[in-house]
Amino acid sequence: MVEEGIKIVAQNRKAWHDFFIEETYEAGIALSGTEVKSIRLGKVNLKESYAFIAKGEVFLHGMHISPYEQGNIFNRDPLRDRKLLLNRQEITKLIGYTQQKGYSMIPLKLYLKRGLVKIELSIAKGKHTYDKRHDIAERDAQREMDRSFRDQQKV
């Protein structure tokens, strides 16, 4: 994102390799003060995290936020489930997607937007091994075409 006031803190690049991304949503996160301070320092990991729906609310599971060093007794469990803040219509849409077979809610990036912590949540469908190999082959072919084009430009 190149918008003003946005600082990307963490990205889940592996998600683009392992999933077909269908749709994305921006959501806020319910955090404690020491967690926000730790996120501002960049001590967060999105790998292996996913979102799930429980009692009509969306929660993020598996996101690791390291404890804030000066937080002492106010630090929370680094791997606790965190509530995502979305509108009712968005939650209803997400419920419809997740009830379909093969769809998951995967976080793509965590960022600060005008001082608030936001997460980009995606609706994703898992890739098979042959899909991943196909993407790698396409990327290699594109790289080879670019390389040969550059070589022609030099001559």
Domain edges within the chain: 6-127
Strands (E), 73-131: 82-85, 103-113, 116-126
Whether residue 41 is predicted with pLDDT greater than 70 in this model: the reply is: yes
DSSP 72: G
Which pTM value belongs to this model? 0.74
Q: How confident is the model at residue 120 (pLDDT cuts 50, 70, 90)?
A: very high
Q: Give the pLDDT confidence of 43-86 residue by residue, as tens digits.
A: 898 888 889 999 989 999 988 888 877 767 767 767 788 899 99
With a cut of 50, say whether residue 35 has pLDDT above it.
yes
What pLDDT score does 2 carry?
53
pLDDT confidence bin for 99, thresholds 50/70/90: confident
DSSP-assigned letter for residue 128: P
Q: pLDDT by residue (tens digit) across 4-26?
A: 778 888 888 888 888 888 889 99
Q: Topology of domain 6-127, per CATH?
A: Small Protein B; Chain: A; (2.40.280)
pLDDT at 119 over 90: yes
Cα dihedral 10→14→17→19 (10° resolution): -80
